[in-house]
Amino acid sequence: MIQAGMGVRVGNANLASATTNAGAYGAISCVGLGDDFDRTFREYETVSKRNLAKEIRMAKELTKGNGPLGVNIMVVLTNYEDMVRVSIEEGIDFIISGAGLPLRLPEYANENVPLIPVVSSGRALELILRTWERRYNRKPAAVIVEGPLCGGHLAFNDEQLREPEKYSLEVLFKDVKAVLGQHDLMHVPVIGAGAVSIPEDVLTVIEMGYNGVQIGTRFICTTESGMSEEGKQLYVSSSSQDTVIISSPVGMPVRVIKSPLVERVMSGKKEQFACPYKCLKTCDRSKVLFCIARALIHAWAGNMDEGLFMTGYDLDRVNDVIPVKKFFDDLEVSAANYHSQIPAYQG
Ligand SMILES: Cc1cc2nc3c(=O)[nH]c(=O)nc-3n(C[C@H](O)[C@H](O)[C@H](O)COP(=O)(O)O)c2cc1C
């Protein structure tokens, strides 16, 4: 099980180390680490590098150097290359990269660090595999498949999102496996993500054929996550009916909880904002209605009027804030029950 490296500052050293200490794969998000909005672009780059190194060191201290500890780096970041290089310098155990096609990732990560691309179709995976093989002779260590019910940015268009069942994790699994087969990579682990909220969901995804899961939204509502307490309570008290998909400055659809900011954006009103450090390659400041970096930092800080709360669809079963360890204890019980239902092998 991989804990999603959620930006901004939700998937921090604290959450990642708690996950790793529970026996799974913790991941630190590399987005929005530039402190505040008074910085120039150059300061933002330097501060982001310093803060990422600090986060990784802190997580290593909390796990006593026992990994696996990873990072999640969005392709659309203007400081993408920096974030990859700092992660490697700090001895990270794996790199997850999505929100765009990580075609050049092996160029910056020219060491032995395992690389894990995030995809939502066999077509995207095909492009990545072909490019990595041809240009870098590199293969993925695993592949994460994000379905349409996921939190964060969605690699589906509006039409596809109206028919999520057509792109369910079952459907995507076959699509992705077919591509892996064509590249002689059937052994590469495939990890499913989207609406995995309770231990039983983990088992359901494994039954589909996946080798593991990546979990986001459930882990926002953990004691250890970086989200503000006010924000955690919003997730806990909201249901899937309170979610809506809006167009993000990243250039992809994003699922969020309805909030005062979201209401304003949906009415077409442009927010006042400066753009001192141009954090996204894909964002055109003159066209977008709000600054997503600013809105996510407000969410992290607990400013409910200005904050943007990205979420997966399945809020109905996220009803409390739990310590990370409780999730894994419950998972162990579910797995034991599941296995006890399978008749013993009789030789
Ligand atoms: C608040 C939030 C922030 C996220 N940030 C990122 C990110 O920075 N990079 C990324 O690749 N995915 C990000 N995601 C997507 C997750 O990595 C994950 O795949 C997804 O949340 C899984 O679906 P679930 O939330 O239903 O469990 C984010 C998701 C949420 C809810």
Across the range 227-232, mean pLDDT stands at 98
pLDDT for 235 equals 98
**Nearest to residue 234, comparing CAs of 325, 319, 292?**
319
The CA 347 to ligand 1 mean position distance, Å, reads 44
For residues 46-61, give the mean pLDDT. Answer: 96
**Strand 115-119, strand 143-146: pairing:** parallel
Q: What is the percentage of the chain residues whose pLDDT exceeds 90? A: 89
pLDDT digits (tens, 9 = 90+) for 287-319: 999 999 999 999 999 999 999 999 999 999 999
pLDDT tens sequence across 101-113: 999 999 999 778 9
By DSSP bridging, strand 2-3 and strand 26-29 are unpaired
Residue ID of nearest Cα to ligand 1 atom 3: 6
Q: Does ligand 1 come within 6 angstroms of the Cβ of 27?
A: no
Grade residue 40 by pLDDT with cuts at 50, 70 and 90.
confident
Q: Is 99 in the pocket of ligand 1 (CB under 6 A)?
A: yes
pLDDT in tens, 140-163: 999 999 999 999 999 999 999 999
The pTM of the full predicted model, rounded to 2 decimals, is 0.96
Q: Is 6 in the pocket of ligand 1 (CB under 6 A)?
A: yes
| pLDDT tens string 64-83 | 999 899 999 999 999 999 99
More confident residue, 332 or 14: 14
Q: Can you read off the two tokens belonging to residue 218?
A: 């459930």
Longest Cα–Cα distance in the chain? 70
The SS3 of residue 29 is strand
Read off the tokens for 227: 């989200």
In short, whether 102's Cβ falls inside 6 Å of ligand 1 is no
Ligand 1 centroid, distance to 10 Cα (angstroms): 10
Nearest protein CA to atom 11 of ligand 1, as residue: 98
Q: Which residue has the tokens 């009803």?
A: 319
* pLDDT at residue 150, rounded to an integer: 97
Q: Is the CB of 214 under 6 A from ligand 1?
A: yes
Q: What are the contacts of 197-201 at 24+ separation with CB within 8 A?
A: 197/312, 197/314, 197/317, 197/318, 198/317, 198/330, 199/327, 199/330, 199/331, 199/333, 199/334, 199/335, 200/334
Taking the C-alpha atoms of residue 256 and residue 168, their distance in angstroms, rounded to an integer, is 20
The CA distance from 211 to 205, in Å, is 8
237 pLDDT band (50/70/90 cuts)? very high
- For residues 191 and 210, the answer to whether their CB atoms sit within 8 Å is yes
8 Å CB contact between 234 and 257: yes
Mean pLDDT of the chain: 95
Please state, in angstroms and rounded to a whole number, the distance separating the CA atoms of residues 279 and 301: 19
Residue 118 in 3-state DSSP?
strand
Residue nearest to atom 6 of ligand 1 (CA): 6
Ligand 1 contact, 118 CB (< 6 A): yes
- Give residue 154 CA to ligand 1 midpoint distance, Å: 9
Contact 196, 213 (CB under 8 A): yes
Mean pLDDT of 1-6: 97
Measured from the Cβ of residue 326, the count of other Cβ atoms closer than 10 Å reads 13
Q: Is the CB of 314 under 6 A from ligand 1?
A: yes
Which of 48, 60, 53, 74 has its CA nearest to residue 21? Answer: 60
Res 347 pLDDT > 60: no
CA of 32 to the centre of ligand 1 (A): 14
Q: Is the pLDDT of residue 345 over 80?
A: no
Query: CA-CA distances (angstroms) from residue 115 to 129, 173, 305?
Result: 12, 19, 38
* Residue 346 pLDDT level (bands cut at 50, 70, 90): low
Name the residue with the closest Cα to ligand 1, atom 5: 6
Count of other CB atoms within 10 angstroms of residue 285: 12
What are the distances in angstroms from CA 259 to CA 54, 134, 305?
32, 46, 7
How far apart are alpha carbons 143 and 180 in whole angstroms?
A: 10
H/E stretch holding 334: helix 324-340
pLDDT band at residue 277 using 50, 70 and 90 as cut-offs:
confident
pLDDT at 343: 61
Residue percentage of the chain with pLDDT more than 70: 97
DSSP for 119-175 reads: ESSHHHHHHHHHHIIIII----S-EEEE-TT-SSB-SS-HHHHH-GGGG-HHHHHHH
- Measured from the Cα of 144, ligand 1's closest atom is 19
Q: pLDDT band at 188, cuts 50/70/90?
A: very high
Q: Best mutation site among 29, 76, 150 for ligand 1, i.e. most ligand atoms within 8 A of its Cβ? A: 150
